[in-house]
């Protein structure tokens, strides 16, 4: 067999996270290049990539050998003693057959759940229990046998080999030898002695290369990956180094390397020949539901469905009955009744326990689900198709995604866990994306952080962004790459590492449920410090092995709805049945949706959607379903026609069947379900086959389209149409089918949107308070909702130490205000940055015990200062939570340290009993008295500092707005305000002052400025908001002035080429400079009775502040009339704050007014 090939049996893919750099598709390509018949995957301690590896290699001609490099402890796996070096030895394990594969699953799972100590470990007991069907090798230098040899423990090395040989049985344990440069760094080369041990014990030898990267040229990139993994930099001489030779060598290279022991290479082929694992990817392993009274799942499902149908429909018509029977026939016929009953059972439990749930996606389209109460959208009324959800001709597991109230999700998962016993969350792998890999590589190369950040910022955001794409699209990045060797090295390395799996995480909503042990079907693991089981396979591979994956999506909107209902019940005593609200209510359809007042309304918030709603003027729920489906890339092209037809424009279609199907959407194919019905009713194509046609059209799969077209035309001809008509109709299908959206999904979310809009319309304060509570973690959204509150006339009150709870609170000043729903919203303590949940809990607990805090010292005496730290108290003060307790924020802040010390002393005295003793003698001083005596006499913070603290901690300005301090200047020098822009002509000149609230920086894709940066600024003035556009030249010139919360003036032109007018900036000017460059009119109110001295003072001030703005005197005469006099042009001024202050000190606070020049 010598020189007849080689099989790599020791190889680490990218699933050896941050250690292996071999991508599975590239591995297959390389194996084919080397004409290798087999290859093994042996990642560190896990089987993360087993199914990915198996499916990728299936049918390729290269046999996939599934294995892992386990961590072995010679002691007990449950022991948590000793160093990592003495308790984590490597051991190579390969699955010889299906039993071996099952045992590998058991071993890796138990190594995590029972043996995790530094690494997931197995011991002799586990290996003995699960050794059948496994071929083992002694592993790399990290194996116990080579380590004992290196450490001079020769007898122990022999005993370890004997132990393994005994555990795995005859011809199932091999001595593994490798030849790398790193053995020279060891005091002993273990290979000669290992060969002797093999001979002595009659064990086979096997040659491996411990592959960690694919090509010899990949060494440097892998070396940097090692640094990323270990947190080292490449220049560190004392760090871990892999040898340069751990790449996928060709069979010829391996044969030459081990030419003195050819049997070690021969044995790789013999082992590969023995390894034959066939993973069952056909059998389903869904849990079984046990119905009452010995009924079958199918019988019980039918019973529940008909019971639900009677409640839903009152009268079960022939149409309803036929639909139910058809669906149950498919569901039960394929053995999926238990699945539906399981979903029904936990949704039913959730409903009984006040946890809102609801199906979403194509699962909404089943009448069985509707009658079971999984969703409240009637599939018959809204034309939803079962075949969009399930293929009657295939045995694929159905997939009902369930939205769950975010707050109730943990309780529901616990219930499912207790009910079925076997439940695990599903893993996901975070990959090294374009930005991430540059930051990682930069750190490893010890590139200065400022340089790394500069390069990373040139790379666009987004999950699909690649380094190649960024280099192609961004002129600045490309130039930096070409001109800067340091950047070139970062990017070249990044290109090799980009896309590798970086870490294992947990899917946000997916779980797997089974009623038999999960570790008989897939490997599991636990994260350190957690008891939660997690699959080692990602979601698609969990489903591939036939397990039931379900998405339990915590939907924040359901929590917002539930929170609003609770607030309304508590404050007003009204119970809201949100599922029973009138979906024809025009106050909601017209007053919220049609008016575009949808900020905070689920799925209908964006500016583009608001424009669509204002144009559409929806008056029925079907309009909302259509709007939700149309406002997406592609279907947007149909919006203008849809709106026009909604308002009376004529339309026609080639056939009455199409007219019937498309009547709801005015002849436009908006939904996939409509296309499916047309294909089915005219062309005789089965509904599920019609769905395949839709997918083929969207993905431009010409062969499938051609086949289905022929089928459609033949069917149409059989139904009485001529061939030309049929071809014309199919042409329409081809044109629009790719745009079609899933109506089931759109319908469900239109219902949820209507419910949120209903609450906003009838319970605005409670709804907005709930919305702010659940969006407080998203500063951008929270700011939008604060603005919306202002637009709705709802004042936002700062947090208050005696009134605020965790959440935002609806507050009413009087019973009259409550009845009129004229309330305010009090900031929640949970929205203060830096204030933890434990601290808030202890504050509220202490407040309830003492009846409210009377001052800072009283507060510190009563709260648990272990949880409520000095930093927490400072955050409360800066946020304004103590404002109503007497004293300025500056005084409270200055007193914190002494108040905390006093509080600690008081609490210590109370614990020792001294506090009560002093009180008995009348010597105890109250916290209020202490505060009165101890608040330091310090000046209040300047408004700018106070507001900056407020903005930092709360995300918005609550007390006042910085714009108000510049109101005079903004009003005087702006030629128009934001609310006036829509009335101005296109390309009209404008000067506008205001504050930057947000910035978005883009890279231009084409034209003379391709690759250069431009910026869109969100801008707020005293009257509203607008957008400022800085094209590359202007952005390059003025980017240093573009900062969040900065007040600026912009000179430019109005651009009305888009739906929302913008300002194209020409110049950006600071407020302190604007008055030197532009003029305004300065009006001074003057009384004729003023003495000469005041006149002289005024002249002197005017002459000192010479500038461009003319001065006018408005003189009030003794008879009350007003005479306006303009000063000579030489007396024009620069009306800055100093000038205005001096004039007001002479003539009074209200004497000066700046008026915009006409």
The first and second tokens of residue 163, run together, are 């132990």
List CB contacts of 550: < 8 A, sequence separation 6 or more: 343, 399, 400, 401, 402, 510, 511, 512, 513
Give the integer Cα–Cα distance in Å for 304 and 293. Answer: 14
Contact, 563 vs 830, CB < 8 A? no
- The candidate with the shortest Cα–Cα distance to 832, out of 762, 881, 796, is 881
Give the integer Cα–Cα distance in Å for 345 and 291. Answer: 11
The first and second tokens of residue 504, run together, are 């294992």
List CB contacts of 980: < 8 A, sequence separation 6 or more: 1023
Q: How many helices (H) and strands (E) does the chain have?
A: 49, 29
State CA 400 to chain mean position distance: 22
User: What's the confidence (pLDDT) of residue 418?
Assistant: 86
CA distances 627 to 361, 384, 587, 761, 778, Å, are 16, 17, 18, 20, 26
The first and second tokens of residue 1003, run together, are 């890279």
Give the integer Cα–Cα distance in Å for 1033 and 333. Answer: 67
Using CB atoms within 10 A of its CB, is residue 33 exposed (0-12), middle (13-18) or buried (19+)? Answer: exposed
User: What's the confidence (pLDDT) of residue 475?
Assistant: 84
Q: Residue 866 CB: number of other CB atoms within 10 A?
A: 11
The first and second tokens of residue 54, run together, are 């198996």
User: What's the confidence (pLDDT) of residue 1109?
Assistant: 87
List CB contacts of 944: < 8 A, sequence separation 6 or more: 962, 965
State CA 181 to chain mean position distance: 45
291 phi and psi angles, rounded to 5 deg: -75, 165
Contact, 910 vs 917, CB < 8 A? no
Give the integer Cα–Cα distance in Å for 1105 and 504. Answer: 66
In sequence order, the β-bridge partners of residue 120 are 116
Look up tokens 């999904």; give the residue.
745
Give the integer Cα–Cα distance in Å for 362 and 339. Answer: 16
In sequence order, the β-bridge partners of residue 1082 are 1111, 1154
Give the integer Cα–Cα distance in Å for 38 and 276. Answer: 11
Give the integer Cα–Cα distance in Å for 193 and 148. Answer: 11
| Residues in the chain, pLDDT under 70 | 1-3, 182-187, 914-933, 1088-1089, 1157-1158
The first and second tokens of residue 960, run together, are 């006042």
DSSP, collapsed to helix, strand or coil, labels residue 534 as strand
Contact, 77 vs 111, CB < 8 A? yes
User: What's the confidence (pLDDT) of residue 183?
Assistant: 46
- The candidate with the shortest Cα–Cα distance to 537, out of 6, 49, 1090, 1136, is 49
Give the integer Cα–Cα distance in Å for 970 and 1155. Answer: 10
Give the integer Cα–Cα distance in Å for 190 and 802. Answer: 72
In sequence order, the β-bridge partners of residue 855 are none
What is the H or E stretch that residue 204 is in? strand 204-207
DSSP, collapsed to helix, strand or coil, labels residue 1084 as strand
C-alpha torsion 567→570→574→576, nearest 10: 40
- The candidate with the shortest Cα–Cα distance to 89, out of 124, 65, 113, is 124
Look up tokens 């905070």; give the residue.
600
Look at strands 1025-1030 and 1062-1069 and give their pairing: parallel
Strand order through the sheet with 1152-1155: 1122-1126, 1111-1116, 1081-1087, 1152-1155
User: What's the confidence (pLDDT) of residue 185?
Assistant: 59
| pTM > 0.85 | no
List CB contacts of 132: < 8 A, sequence separation 6 or more: 99, 100, 103
CA distances 926 to 489, 509, 578, 853, Å, are 67, 52, 50, 11
List CB contacts of 404: < 8 A, sequence separation 6 or more: 350, 355, 356, 357, 412, 552, 553, 554, 555, 558
State CA 700 to chain mean position distance: 31
**What domains, with CATH codes, occur in the chain?**
24-211+248-274 (3.20.20.140), 292-423+547-556 (no CATH), 581-757 (no CATH), 765-954 (no CATH), 962-1077 (2.40.50.140), 1081-1155 (no CATH)
User: What's the confidence (pLDDT) of residue 923?
Assistant: 46
The first and second tokens of residue 441, run together, are 């590589």
The first and second tokens of residue 940, run together, are 């209040």
- The candidate with the shortest Cα–Cα distance to 91, out of 186, 20, 166, 10, is 10
- The candidate with the shortest Cα–Cα distance to 147, out of 179, 183, 198, is 183
State CA 230 to chain mean position distance: 27
For every residue of 783-794, which 3-state class applies, written as one string? Answer: HHHHHHHHHCCC
Question: Apex CA 102: angle with CA 101 and CA 105, to 5°?
Answer: 90
Give the integer Cα–Cα distance in Å for 529 and 520. Answer: 24
State CA 134 to chain mean position distance: 41
Give the integer Cα–Cα distance in Å for 1002 and 462. Answer: 13
User: What's the confidence (pLDDT) of residue 283?
Assistant: 85
User: What's the confidence (pLDDT) of residue 720?
Assistant: 86
Given CA atoms 299, 304, 309, 315 in this order, what sign does their dihedral have?
positive
Using CB atoms within 10 A of its CB, is residue 751 exposed (0-12), middle (13-18) or buried (19+)? Answer: buried
State CA 958 to chain mean position distance: 28
- The candidate with the shortest Cα–Cα distance to 288, out of 328, 339, 324, is 339
List own/partner pairs for 812-820 with CB under 8 A and 24 or more apart: 812/571, 812/765, 818/571, 818/572
User: What's the confidence (pLDDT) of residue 915?
Assistant: 52
User: What's the confidence (pLDDT) of residue 599?
Assistant: 96
List CB contacts of 1093: < 8 A, sequence separation 6 or more: none
List CB contacts of 531: < 8 A, sequence separation 6 or more: none
DSSP, collapsed to helix, strand or coil, labels residue 1052 as strand
What is the H or E stretch that residue 92 is in? strand 89-95
Running DSSP on this structure, what letter comes out for residue 286? P
């Amino acid at each position: 067999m010598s020189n007849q090939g080689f099989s790599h049996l020791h190889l680490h893919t990218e699933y050896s996270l941050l250690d292996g750099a071999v991508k599975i598709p590239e591995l297959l390509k390389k194996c084919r290049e080397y004409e290798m018949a087999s290859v093994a995957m042996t990642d560190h301690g896990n089987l993360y990539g087993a199914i990915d590896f198996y499916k990728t290699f299936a049918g390729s001609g290269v046999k996939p050998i599934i294995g892992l490099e386990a961590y072995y402890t010679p002691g007990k796996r449950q022991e948590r003693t000793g160093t990592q070096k003495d308790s984590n030895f490597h051991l190579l394990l390969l699955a010889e057959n299906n039993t071996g594969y099952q045992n590998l699953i058991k071993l890796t799972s138990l190594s995590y759940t029972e043996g995790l100590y530094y690494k997931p470990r197995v011991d002799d007991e586990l290996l003995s229990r699960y050794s059948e069907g496994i071929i083992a090798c002694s592993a790399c230098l990290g194996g116990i046998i080579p380590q004992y040899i290196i450490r001079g423990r020769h007898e122990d090395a022999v005993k370890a080999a004997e132990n393994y040989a005994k555990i795995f049985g005859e011809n199932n344990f091999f001595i593994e030898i490798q030849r790398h440069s790193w053995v020279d760094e060891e005091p002993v080369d273990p290979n000669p002695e290992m060969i002797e041990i093999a001979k002595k014990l009659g064990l086979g030898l096997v040659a491996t290369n411990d592959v960690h990267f694919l090509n010899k040229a990949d060494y440097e990139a892998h070396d940097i990956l090692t640094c990323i993994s270990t947190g080292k930099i490449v220049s560190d001489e004392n760090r871990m180094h892999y040898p340069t030779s751990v790449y996928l060598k060709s069979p010829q290279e391996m044969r030459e390397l081990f030419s003195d022991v050819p049997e070690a290479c021969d044995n790789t082929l013999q082992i590969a020949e023995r390894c034959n694992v066939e993973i069952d990817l056909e059998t389903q392993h869904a849990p079984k539901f046990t119905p009452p009274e010995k009924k079958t799942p199918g019988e019980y499902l039918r019973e529940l469905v008909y019971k639900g149908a009677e409640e839903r429909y009152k009268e079960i018509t022939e149409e309803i009955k036929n639909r139910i029977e058809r669906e149950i026939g498919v569901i039960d016929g394929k053995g999926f009744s238990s699945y539906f009953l399981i979903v029904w059972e936990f949704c039913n439990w959730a409903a009984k326990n006040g946890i809102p749930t609801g199906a979403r996606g194509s699962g909404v389209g089943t009448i069985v689900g509707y009658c079971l109460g999984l969703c409240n959208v009637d599939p018959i009324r809204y034309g939803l198709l079962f075949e969009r959800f399930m293929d009657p001709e295939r045995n694929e597991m159905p997939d009902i995604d369930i939205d769950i109230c975010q707050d109730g999700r943990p309780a529901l998962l616990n219930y499912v866990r207790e009910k079925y016993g076997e439940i695990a969350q599903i893993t996901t792998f975070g990959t090294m994306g374009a930005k991430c890999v540059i930051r990682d590589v930069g750190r490893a190369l010890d590139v200065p952080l400022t340089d790394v950040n500069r390069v990373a910022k040139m790379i666009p955001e987004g999950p699909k962004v690649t380094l190649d794409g960024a280099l192609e699209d961004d002129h600045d990045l490309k130039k930096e790459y070409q001109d800067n060797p340091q950047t070139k090295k970062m990017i070249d390395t990044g290109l090799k590492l980009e896309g590798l799996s970086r870490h294992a995480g947990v899917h946000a909503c997916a779980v797997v449920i089974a009623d038999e042990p999960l570790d008989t079907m897939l490997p599991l693991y636990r994260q350190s410090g957690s008891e939660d089981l997690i699959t080692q396979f990602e979601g698609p591979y969990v489903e591939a092995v036939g397990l039931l994956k379900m998405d339990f999506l915590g939907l924040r909107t359901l929590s917002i709805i539930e929170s609003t209902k609770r607030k309304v019940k508590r404050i007003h005593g009204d119970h809201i049945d949100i599922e029973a609200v009138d979906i024809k209510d025009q106050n909601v359809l017209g007053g919220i949706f049609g008016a575009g007042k949808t900020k905070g309304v689920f799925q209908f918030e964006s500016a583009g959607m608001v424009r669509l709603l204002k144009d559409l003027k929806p008056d029925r729920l079907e309009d909302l379903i259509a709007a939700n489906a149309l406002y997406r890339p592609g279907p947007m092209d149909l919006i203008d026609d849809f709106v026009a037809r909604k308002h009376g424009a004529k339309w026609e279609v080639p056939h009455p069947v199409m007219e019937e199907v498309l009547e709801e959407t005015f002849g436009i194919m908006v939904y996939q379900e409509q296309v499916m019905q047309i294909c089915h009713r005219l062309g005789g194509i089965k509904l599920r086959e019609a769905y395949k046609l839709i997918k083929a059209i969207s993905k431009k799969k010409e062969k499938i389209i051609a086949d289905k077209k022929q089928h459609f035309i033949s069917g149409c001809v059989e139904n009485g149409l001529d061939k030309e008509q049929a071809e014309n109709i199919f042409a329409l299908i081809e044109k629009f089918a790719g745009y079609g959206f899933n109506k089931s999904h759109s319908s469900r979310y239109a219902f949820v949107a209507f419910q949120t809009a209903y609450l906003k319309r009838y319970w605005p304060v409670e709804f907005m308070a709930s919305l702010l509570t659940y969006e407080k973690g998203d500063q951008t959204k929270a700011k939008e909702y604060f603005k919306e509150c202002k637009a709705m006339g709802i004042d936002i009150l700062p947090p208050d130490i005696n009134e605020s709870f965790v959440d935002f609170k609806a507050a009413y000043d009087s019973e009259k205000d409550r009845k009129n729903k004229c309330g305010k919203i009090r900031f929640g303590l949970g929205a203060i940055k830096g204030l933890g949940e434990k601290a808030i809990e202890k504050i509220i607990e202490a407040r309830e015990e003492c009846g409210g805090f009377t001052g800072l010292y009283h507060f510190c005496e009563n709260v648990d200062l272990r949880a409520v730290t000095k930093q927490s108290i400072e955050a409360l003060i800066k946020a304004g939570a103590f404002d109503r307790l007497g004293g300025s924020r500056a005084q409270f802040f200055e007193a914190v340290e002494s108040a905390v010390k006093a509080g600690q002393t008081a609490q210590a005295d109370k614990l020792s009993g001294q506090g009560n003793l002093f009180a008995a003698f009348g010597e105890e001083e109250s916290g209020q008295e202490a505060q009165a005596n101890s608040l330091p006499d310090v000046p209040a913070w300047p408004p700018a500092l106070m507001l900056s603290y407020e903005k930092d901690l709360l995300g918005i300005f609550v007390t006042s707005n910085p714009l108000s301090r510049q109101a005079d200047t903004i009003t005087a020098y702006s030629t128009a305000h934001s609310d006036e822009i829509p009335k101005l002509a296109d390309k009209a000149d404008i000067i506008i002052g205001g504050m930057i609230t947000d910035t978005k920086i883009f890279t231009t894709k084409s034209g003379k400025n391709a690759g250069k940066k431009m910026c869109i600024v969100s801008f707020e003035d005293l009257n509203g908001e607008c957008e400022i556009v800085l094209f590359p030249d202007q952005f390059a010139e003025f980017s240093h002035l573009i900062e969040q919360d900065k007040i600026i003036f912009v000179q430019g032109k109005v651009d009305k080429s888009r739906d929302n007018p913008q300002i194209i900036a020409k110049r950006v000017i600071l407020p302190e400079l604007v008055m030197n460059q532009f003029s305004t009119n300065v009006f001074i109110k003057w009384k004729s009775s003023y003495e000469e001295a005041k006149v002289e003072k005024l002249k002197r001030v005017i002459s000192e502040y010479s500038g461009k703005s003319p001065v006018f005197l408005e003189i009030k005469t003794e008879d009350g009339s007003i005479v306006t006099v303009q000063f000579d042009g030489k007396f024009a001024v620069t009306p800055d704050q100093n000038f205005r202050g001096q004039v007001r000190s002479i003539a009074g606070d209200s004497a000066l007014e700046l008026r915009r020049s006409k």
